[in-house]
Amino acid sequence: MGLLTPTNEELGRPDAAWRRRLHTVIFESETPAGRRFDKWIVAAILVSVAIVVVDSVPTFHQRHGKVLNAAEWFFTIVFTLEYLARLASVRYQLRYMFSFFGIVDLLSVLPTYLAIFFPETHALIDVRILRLLRIFRIFKLADYVAEYQMLGEALAASRRKILVFLSAVFMVVLIMGTLLYVVEGPANGFVDIPTSVYWAITTVTTVGFGDITPKTDVGRFIASVSMLIGWGTLAVPTGIFTAEMTARRHLRPPLLQLPCPSCGATGHGAEAKYCQMCGSALAAPAGENAQAAGPPVR
Amino acid sequence: MGLLTPTNEELGRPDAAWRRRLHTVIFESETPAGRRFDKWIVAAILVSVAIVVVDSVPTFHQRHGKVLNAAEWFFTIVFTLEYLARLASVRYQLRYMFSFFGIVDLLSVLPTYLAIFFPETHALIDVRILRLLRIFRIFKLADYVAEYQMLGEALAASRRKILVFLSAVFMVVLIMGTLLYVVEGPANGFVDIPTSVYWAITTVTTVGFGDITPKTDVGRFIASVSMLIGWGTLAVPTGIFTAEMTARRHLRPPLLQLPCPSCGATGHGAEAKYCQMCGSALAAPAGENAQAAGPPVR
Amino acid sequence: MGLLTPTNEELGRPDAAWRRRLHTVIFESETPAGRRFDKWIVAAILVSVAIVVVDSVPTFHQRHGKVLNAAEWFFTIVFTLEYLARLASVRYQLRYMFSFFGIVDLLSVLPTYLAIFFPETHALIDVRILRLLRIFRIFKLADYVAEYQMLGEALAASRRKILVFLSAVFMVVLIMGTLLYVVEGPANGFVDIPTSVYWAITTVTTVGFGDITPKTDVGRFIASVSMLIGWGTLAVPTGIFTAEMTARRHLRPPLLQLPCPSCGATGHGAEAKYCQMCGSALAAPAGENAQAAGPPVR
Amino acid sequence: MGLLTPTNEELGRPDAAWRRRLHTVIFESETPAGRRFDKWIVAAILVSVAIVVVDSVPTFHQRHGKVLNAAEWFFTIVFTLEYLARLASVRYQLRYMFSFFGIVDLLSVLPTYLAIFFPETHALIDVRILRLLRIFRIFKLADYVAEYQMLGEALAASRRKILVFLSAVFMVVLIMGTLLYVVEGPANGFVDIPTSVYWAITTVTTVGFGDITPKTDVGRFIASVSMLIGWGTLAVPTGIFTAEMTARRHLRPPLLQLPCPSCGATGHGAEAKYCQMCGSALAAPAGENAQAAGPPVR
């Protein structure tokens, strides 16, 4: 996993008994205590994020400012205690502090304290929204691992194809943006190449805000070509990823079945008892095999 | 099915003969009378919805207000009678009244009556559009069951993957929205986090209304990243669902092969010579089997 | 094919020798003369459509009005002659006149004549753009038949699933549109239900013109849900059609191969000479089979 | 490859020893020197493009104009030297000069010189962005060839289907655009047919800038139909390309099976017992074969 996201083993279990118990609760999500702890933390994160969101609405801030402020402090203290508990429950504190989640954990409490001591840093207070990222830690542990992993693997396997695709999109966007900068010019809103590239991205991705639009005939022609490219091109990453997902589904089931012990034939149904090819009995009752293997992965 | 959408068996057939006849017409859509009843109800729903739509156009309302009003009352009375007939034709009235379709049936007539007695509730009159939902009841009974079911099954089987995907989208949208709230601020239209999240959703889904757009360079850069993420990410649910649909089509064909002549087992491979279940030779040569089975189902 | 698009056989060959020759040139696109005729007609259609397009631009119309007008008359006369020639070269003139392409052929010349005699019908002159539809006739005859047909078949096979899907989209759009009409009201641009449904369609299809946008918080929330539905739902028709296309590719190759004459086994490679299962020679040399069958359809 | 993109063989190796060495460095990217040269050129291209982009921003141009100008001249001279070196290192200079990349190489230095001698051509200076295209040359040589090629092959194989699809889209867009020109007219922004077609393209591709929008009810109805067509139609190119990609992945696995021990033929089915080509028994039992072949390639 590397040092950015160290495993529980890399973080290490501490020696002291109370710190060991803390480790069990915080890091071992298979245990009942760990599971309960995870659920409470997710709830706390969601509520505290909801407070940040609601607090940003001026009318709410004026009316319920005090309650929101108190709740904010409550959660800041809870997360601070959690941070200290995490520090106490690992053997190698520095590894935790400089890991991805260690930094996120710190960033999700720091702004509230800073806003007290340095009122001018108040603009940073919304950094607290990064608390959301902490939920991803729970994802690693939840029932959704298999789904999460399959999506991840399919994306990882398509990585190189997606990179080739993205670099081609990047070039199209840069060239189209520059073309429109030359053709339309600052008078029509294409004030510089970065802005034109921003426009090209809104066009190729079919977002089309319409805050900047081509006015000349040539510009509109180039824009039309960009749109058709962007619209049709979407088929490419979809095709890459879908072929990957389809193949993954086809790959797995056969691996769940043993070949025929007398003729070696494969491809039997999930509950086959006799070989399709030579009629001899299959070594292990395939039915149990299939059972043991569970339902074919999705 | 649960109590929200009870089956006809759970609603029960009443004892009285005339109520039984009513039950046949209203609930048993396989009978000729039931089929005719379904068609008339769908027609009535569509016409009455068309009236609600047309009545909302000011010029039409002024010119044909009286005719529209009369037609509206006609359909309200028809649907009221239907509601009472449904009540009369089931054994357990309460189960029907508190089922999903029971509530929809009531909501599709109530507003017209309420608008008479409490003129101030006139704003609710458009709730009548929910009549449309009643058409879904017919769907359950129609020729399209197989298609409807296959789409439903494929979606249900992808449920967990789609949930993982949606939660990831939710986080991206929340973080991107907050980032733009911090970067652009109320001066550029990002007045609070909910509004910014609304903007992030229009961007990630490539809708791009353009009512709120980033003005600063940093904001436009983050927006560009959001667009590319949203555009490319669409490949993910498509891939999930397509792989599911493709697999479902591949699953079926084997079921078309002739069953084993001695034990009746099915599901043999295209080249099977011996029954998987009992080991006896399959009657017809597999080649002819495949022929006899015709083209695989679509 | 029915009477809307009658086949050449249904239109019939005339008796007179010169009309038979005309029939060969106009309707038999496999002959060299027919092929040449088709090419010239396509060229004439494209040029005449280009003239209609260019003539609509005010500056062009003012500067080159006379040339454009002359060219327009030239093509109108050419297409009139072609129409008369088509009439002369079929046995059953009425069948042709009232067929889909017969009407399109007439509509593509009539407006020019009408504009002379009834100057007030000049607005109809752009109906000439329907000339474009005539190109579809050529499509039927060209090298692209196989591709055209496969796309058509896949769409036709998915017809019922697509219908179920479209009716669901239609309901979502109607309900979402009405909801926003109720929530936002005429003050925010949602002046009546048809307009709101138009807005819901721009939103669900992710077009997002931005000419009408929700202003209230509730409206924005419903809009966000609509966007996510529309964005994610696109996976459904894509999945349906892709699964159909994938299955079609898998279906065909085996059909090109005869089963083994001695054991009936199927699934041999495109150039197999001996049965994979029993080792006996395959009846007809499979290589020639495969050749005769042409490359596997794509 | 043709003369537009001649291969290294077609460009020819020169006779003189120093020119041969140059050829090795510039054209033979497998050698260590060639690999290093490629990397430096890519770096130079990216930095020089970044300078063009940054220089277009007015504030940057004013503040750092001199530095940017100096850097621009540095890269222009580097690329000029590279151009001369390329000329020197091939046998047939004209073939290189008039090849696609020869022209791009010239276009990427010429504007800077022209802007000196003919200040009025300064608008052309941004043509330098075409330098980006030179990176595609490197693509041919890099580690991504396999991915690049597979995407290219799948697109090429779907070529005819995509052409049929694009021509249908082209007609839809032309007819929809003309319809809205007739229905909405210049008063609502649909000033001529080209503009209306531009609008139709923004609508069908779901970009939806919103700079031109229908105002009449009929116009909005036609627009709604266009949107639904465009939204649903996207399934078609996606389906075409995905089916192609999926089939390509399925095609490969058989190639992994062991060839026939007596005639060397390949491509046997997973359960083959006898060689398809010569009828002799396959050496290893098919079951082990499949095992030995490992999981099918991705």
Per-residue pLDDT tens over the stretch C201-258: 999 999 999 899 999 989 999 999 999 888 877 888 888 888 888 877 765 443 334 5
Q: Does residue D297 carry a pLDDT above 50?
A: no
pLDDT for A259: 56
D193–C240 CB contact, under 8 Å: no
Residue of C nearest to D228 (CA): C205
| Type of residue at C189 | G
B184 to chain A: which residues are within 8 Å by CB? none
Distance from C-alpha of A91 to C-alpha of A100, rounded to nearest angstrom:
17
Distance from C-alpha of C129 to C-alpha of D199, rounded to nearest angstrom:
17
Residues 6+ apart with CB under 8 A from D210: A208, A210, B209, B210, C208, C209, C210, C211
Interface of chain C against chain A, CB under 8 Å? Answer: 206-210, 238, 242, 246
CB C264 within 8 A of CB B266: no
- B283 to each of B286, B287, C264, how far by Cα in Å? 9, 12, 13
Mind telling me how many Å the CA of D103 is from chain B's nearest CA?
A: 32
CB C265 within 8 A of CB B271: yes
The one-character DSSP state at C4 is T
Distance from C-alpha of C240 to C-alpha of D272, rounded to nearest angstrom:
34
Cα end-to-end span (Å), chain D: 28
Q: Is D254 exposed, middle or buried (0-12, 13-18, 19+ CB in 10 A)?
A: middle
The winner for highest mean pLDDT among A151-155, B266-270, D205-209, D283-287 is D205-209
CA-angle at B215, arms to B211 and B217, nearest 5°: 145
C207 to chain B: which residues are within 8 Å by CB? 207
B223–A276 CB contact, under 8 Å: no
Task: Provide the pLDDT confidence category of residue B284 given band limits of 50, 70 and 90.
Answer: very low
Residue of B nearest to D203 (CA): B207
Distance from C-alpha of D245 to C-alpha of D243, rounded to nearest angstrom:
6
Q: Which chains lie within 8 Å of chain B at 3 or more CB pairs, if any?
A: A, C, D
D246–C246 CB contact, under 8 Å: yes
C272 to chain D: which residues are within 8 Å by CB? 276-277
C132–D174 CB contact, under 8 Å: yes
- B132 to each of A52, B51, B75, B107, C173, how far by Cα in Å? 39, 12, 13, 11, 11
B237 to chain C: which residues are within 8 Å by CB? 232, 235
Phi, psi of C286 (to 5 degrees): -60, -35
A144–B165 CB contact, under 8 Å: no
D246 to chain A: which residues are within 8 Å by CB? 242-243, 246-247
C246–B246 CB contact, under 8 Å: yes
Distance from C-alpha of A241 to C-alpha of A243, rounded to nearest angstrom:
6
Q: Tell which of A159, A207, A213 to mutate to test the B interface (max B CBs under 10 Å).
A: A207
Does an H or E element contain B242, and which?
Answer: helix B235-251
B209–D209 CB contact, under 8 Å: no
Q: Does residue B125 carry a pLDDT above 80?
A: no
Per-residue pLDDT tens over the stretch D251-286: 544 333 455 666 665 555 545 556 656 666 664 443
- Cross-chain CB nearest to C129 (options D178, D217, D246): D178
Percent of chain B with pLDDT over 90: 18
pLDDT for B108: 85
CB B175 within 8 A of CB B204: no
Topology classification of domain B156-250: Helix Hairpins (1.10.287)
- D66 to each of C106, D45, D61, how far by Cα in Å? 67, 20, 8
Hunting for tokens 């299955």 — which residue is that? C247
Q: Tell which of A203, A238, A241 to mutate to test the C interface (max C CBs under 10 Å).
A: A238
C147–D157 CB contact, under 8 Å: no
Q: Where in chain B is the domain with CATH 1.10.287.70?
A: 156-250
- A252 to each of A243, A257, B29, how far by Cα in Å? 15, 10, 43
- Cross-chain CB nearest to B276 (options A194, A211, A272): A272
Distance from C-alpha of D124 to C-alpha of B47, rounded to nearest angstrom:
62
Mind telling me how many Å the CA of B238 is from chain D's nearest CA?
A: 10
- C152 to each of C145, C241, C245, D154, how far by Cα in Å? 10, 11, 11, 21
Whole-structure pTM value: 0.78
- Cross-chain CB nearest to B228 (options A126, A132, A201): A201
Task: Provide the pLDDT confidence category of residue D293 given band limits of 50, 70 and 90.
Answer: very low
Residue of B nearest to D217 (CA): B57
Task: Provide the pLDDT confidence category of residue B261 given band limits of 50, 70 and 90.
Answer: low
C231 to chain B: which residues are within 8 Å by CB? 204-207, 230, 234
Q: Where in chain D is the domain with CATH 1.20.120.350?
A: 8-139
Report how many Cβ contacts below 8 Å link chain A to chain B: 177
Distance from C-alpha of D17 to C-alpha of A218, rounded to nearest angstrom:
50
Distance from C-alpha of C221 to C-alpha of C227, rounded to nearest angstrom:
10
- Cross-chain CB nearest to A206 (options B175, B206, B268): B206
Distance from C-alpha of D223 to C-alpha of D177, rounded to nearest angstrom:
10
B232 to chain A: which residues are within 8 Å by CB? 162, 166, 237
A277 to chain D: which residues are within 8 Å by CB? 271
- Cross-chain CB nearest to C242 (options A208, A210, A242): A242
Average pLDDT over residues B192-212: 92
C210–A210 CB contact, under 8 Å: yes
The one-character DSSP state at A282 is P
Residues 6+ apart with CB under 8 A from D200: D172, D173, D174, D176, D177, D180, D226
A210 to chain C: which residues are within 8 Å by CB? 209-210
Helical spans, DSSP H, in chain C: 8-11, 17-27, 32-55, 58-88, 93-97, 100-107, 110-117, 134-139, 145-157, 159-184, 193-204, 217-233, 235-255, 286-293
Q: Is D244 exposed, middle or buried (0-12, 13-18, 19+ CB in 10 A)?
A: buried
Let me know how long chain C is: 298
- B174 to each of A49, A203, B184, D12, how far by Cα in Å? 10, 23, 15, 58
B205–C228 CB contact, under 8 Å: yes
Tell me if residue B20 falls in helix, strand or coil.
Answer: helix
Q: Does residue D30 carry a pLDDT above 70?
A: yes
CB A236 within 8 A of CB D147: no
Hunting for tokens 């702004």 — which residue is that? A111
Q: Does residue B255 carry a pLDDT above 60?
A: no
Q: Is the ipTM of this complex over 0.90?
A: no
Does an H or E element contain A86, and which?
Answer: helix A58-88
D210–C210 CB contact, under 8 Å: yes
B210–D209 CB contact, under 8 Å: yes
Mind telling me how many Å the CA of C199 is from chain D's nearest CA?
A: 9
A57 to chain B: which residues are within 8 Å by CB? 192-194
D169–A228 CB contact, under 8 Å: yes
Per-residue pLDDT tens over the stretch A219-263: 999 999 999 888 877 888 888 888 888 877 765 443 334 556 666
One CATH from 3.40.50.2300, 1.20.120.350, 3.40.50.2020, 1.10.3720.10 for D8-139: 1.20.120.350
CB B241 within 8 A of CB B155: yes
Distance from C-alpha of C3 to C-alpha of D147, rounded to nearest angstrom:
50
Residue D233, token pair as written in the block:
């139609």
Q: Which chains lie within 8 Å of chain C at 3 or more CB pairs, if any?
A: A, B, D
- C55 to each of C62, C67, C106, C122, D201, how far by Cα in Å? 9, 10, 21, 13, 20
Distance from C-alpha of C11 to C-alpha of C3, rounded to nearest angstrom:
9
Task: Quote the longest CA-to-CA distance of chain B.
Answer: 80
Hunting for tokens 């679509």 — which residue is that? B298
Residue of B nearest to A129 (CA): B175
Task: Provide the pLDDT confidence category of residue B34 given band limits of 50, 70 and 90.
Answer: confident
The closest of C211, C8, C155, C162 to C92, measured between CA atoms, is: C8
pLDDT for A100: 82
Distance from C-alpha of A8 to C-alpha of A12, rounded to nearest angstrom:
6
